[in-house]
């Protein structure tokens, strides 16, 4: 049996070599479908790796409380979300005082939601950066946030916060954009017309998706300073740190306390959001799962077109080789031998197209990684295996009918065919 298969594959490869252009055009749809699987799979794998690393860099034993739903979302806010009460500084203090499993909490106050991030501009002399992660917070920010490591200078103190001093700590990419290779510490920068002295520079967090546009544009000032320069700001968020191994209990305690403080009826859902690293990763996986589904649908169209082309060309091949089939049957070839001959030819054809599609997909992935470093791509083994398996299966499925048709030929009629 093995010798028959090897012989049939040799005949299939010989036929493909004789009709190179026809074979290539036949499997073009298979090549496109497989390339789509590899290229999109590589982007999804790269996104997964970097986004998970970025999310976990905030701290796996912390959770973030916000008025609005956390994580990626599409569409406008609902009416219920728009009219929700704002979180407050007192909510953050109550979490530490009243929840036994919460050891620390860092409140952050942001510009009002309506102002948008692109209305925030940082300036130093002739340099300007638009779109900031601008907030006011307490010194607890630098211990609760796992990705708030200092690279240069220092953090601000509680005394500087209480005295509302105009000081700031900025992200590494923001410092590089404003000061190039100069030290940022001690220099003044302006944010929307207010001047601050740079105390320190934060180290860029792990992962490529660290902030706005994939860059670390954090601009962190003391909480009470923020309230002084932005008196109308109300949008708060709170990140709290749980005792080791007790994050789930801390989240339950925080939820119960906030529902009580915000007077949420027992039969109504939360009017706030509590997100952990695991919950954000799950949300991201849901999105990439939807993208993967779209990828499967798109690649299936290409594979179906390729499969129809394979069936068509194999039917033509069967007609062209009618006398050859008659001769083989007259010399003792069984129906199964004829089926294997044409079936393996179709499978070899589509498997070759699959390998070519895999190669093109890998090249596209490398080009994306080179051109857009912030959009990482890495080719996962599963996408290579899936591309090859599916392309070969296309040949098996669409080549079956032509192979069976060839095996049913009457040798006497076949030998008379002109």
* pLDDT, tens digit (0-9, with 9 covering 90-100), for 293-302: 777 777 777 7
**Domain locations in the chain?**
2-53+283-416, 85-271
Does the pLDDT of residue 93 top 80, yes or no? yes
Does the pLDDT of residue 315 top 70, yes or no? yes
For helices 322-330 and 277-320, angle between their N-to-C axes, nearest 10 degrees: 80
DSSP assignments along 344-403, one per residue: HHHHHHHHHHHHHHHHHHHHHHHHHHHH-TTS-----HHHHHHHHHHHHHHHHHHHHHHH
- Residue 124 tokens, joined: 């130093």
Helix (H, G, I), strand (E, B), or coil: what is residue 213?
Answer: helix
Element (H, E) at 241: strand 235-242
- Confidence (pLDDT) at 331: 75
Does the pLDDT of residue 414 top 80, yes or no? no
Nearest to 262 by CA among 94, 113, 111, 109: 94
Nearest to 59 by CA among 111, 92, 95, 106: 106
Task: Summarize pLDDT for 340-383 with one digit per residue, the tens.
Answer: 777 877 888 888 888 888 888 888 888 888 887 766 677 878 77
Instruction: Give CA–CA dist 182/219, Å, rounded.
Output: 18
Task: Summarize pLDDT for 379-405 with one digit per residue, the tens.
Answer: 878 778 888 888 888 888 888 888 787
Does the pLDDT of residue 415 top 70, yes or no? no
Instruction: Give CA–CA dist 221/230, Å, rounded.
Output: 12
Helix (H, G, I), strand (E, B), or coil: what is residue 229?
Answer: helix
Q: Within the chain, what is the greatest distance between any pair of CA atoms?
A: 104
Does the pLDDT of residue 214 top 70, yes or no? no
pLDDT: which is higher, 248 or 371: 248
pLDDT band at 7 (very low <50, low <70, confident <90, very high): low
- Residue 231 tokens, joined: 């008196």
Task: Answer whether 230's CB lies under 8 Å from 111's CB.
Answer: yes
First-to-last alpha carbon distance for the chain, in angstroms, is 32
Instruction: Output the pTM of the full model.
Output: 0.67
Does the pLDDT of residue 188 top 90, yes or no? yes
Instruction: Give CA–CA dist 391/385, Å, rounded.
Output: 10
DSSP-assigned beta bridge partners for residue 199: none
Q: Name the E strands within 36-156.
A: 62-66, 102-110, 121-124, 127-130, 133-137, 150-153
């Amino acid at each position: 049996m093995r010798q028959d298969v090897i012989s049939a594959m040799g005949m299939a490869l010989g036929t493909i070599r004789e009709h190179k252009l026809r074979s290539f055009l036949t499997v073009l749809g298979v090549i496109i479908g497989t390339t789509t699987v590899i290229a999109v799979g590589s982007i999804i794998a790269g996104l997964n790796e970097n986004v998970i690393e970025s999310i976990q860099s905030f701290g796996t034993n912390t959770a973030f409380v916000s008025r609005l739903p956390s994580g990626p979302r599409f569409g406008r806010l609902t009416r219920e979300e728009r009219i929700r009460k704002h979180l407050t500084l007192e909510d953050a203090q109550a979490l530490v005082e009243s929840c036994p499993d919460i050891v620390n909490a860092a409140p952050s106050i942001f510009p009002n939601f309506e102002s948008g991030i692109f209305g925030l501009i940082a300036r130093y002399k002739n340099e300007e950066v638009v779109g900031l992660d601008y907030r006011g917070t307490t010194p607890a920010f630098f211990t609760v946030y796992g990705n708030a490591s200092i690279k240069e200078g220092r953090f601000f103190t509680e005394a500087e916060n209480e005295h509302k001093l105009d000081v700031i700590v900025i992200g590494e990419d923001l410092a590089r954009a404003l000061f190039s290779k100069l030290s940022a510490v001690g220099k003044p920068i302006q944010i929307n017309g207010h001047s601050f002295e740079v105390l320190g520079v934060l180290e860029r967090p792990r992962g490529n998706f660290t902030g706005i546009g994939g860059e670390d544009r954090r601009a962190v000032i003391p909480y009470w300073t923020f309230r002084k320069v932005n008196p109308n700001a109300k949008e708060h968020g709170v990140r709290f740190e749980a005792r080791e191994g007790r994050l789930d209990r801390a989240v339950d305690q925080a939820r119960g306390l906030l529902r009580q403080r915000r007077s949420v009826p027992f039969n109504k859902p939360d009017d706030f959001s509590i997100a952990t690293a695991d919950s954000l990763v799950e949300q991201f996986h849901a999105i990439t799962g939807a993208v993967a589904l779209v990828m499967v649908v798109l690649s299936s169209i290409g594979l179906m077109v390729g499969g129809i082309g394979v069936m068509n060309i194999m039917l033509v091949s069967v007609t062209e080789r009618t006398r050859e089939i008659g001769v083989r049957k007259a010399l003792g070839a069984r129906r199964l031998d004829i089926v294997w001959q044409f079936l393996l030819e179709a499978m070899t054809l589509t498997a070759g197209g699959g390998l070519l599609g895999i190669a093109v997909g890998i090249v596209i992935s490398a080009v994306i990684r080179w051109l857009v470093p912030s959009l990482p791509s890495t080719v996962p083994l599963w996408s290579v295996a899936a591309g090859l398996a599916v392309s070969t299966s296309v040949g098996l499925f669409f080549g079956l009918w032509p192979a069976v048709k060839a095996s049913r030929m009457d040798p006497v009629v076949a030998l008379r065919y002109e």
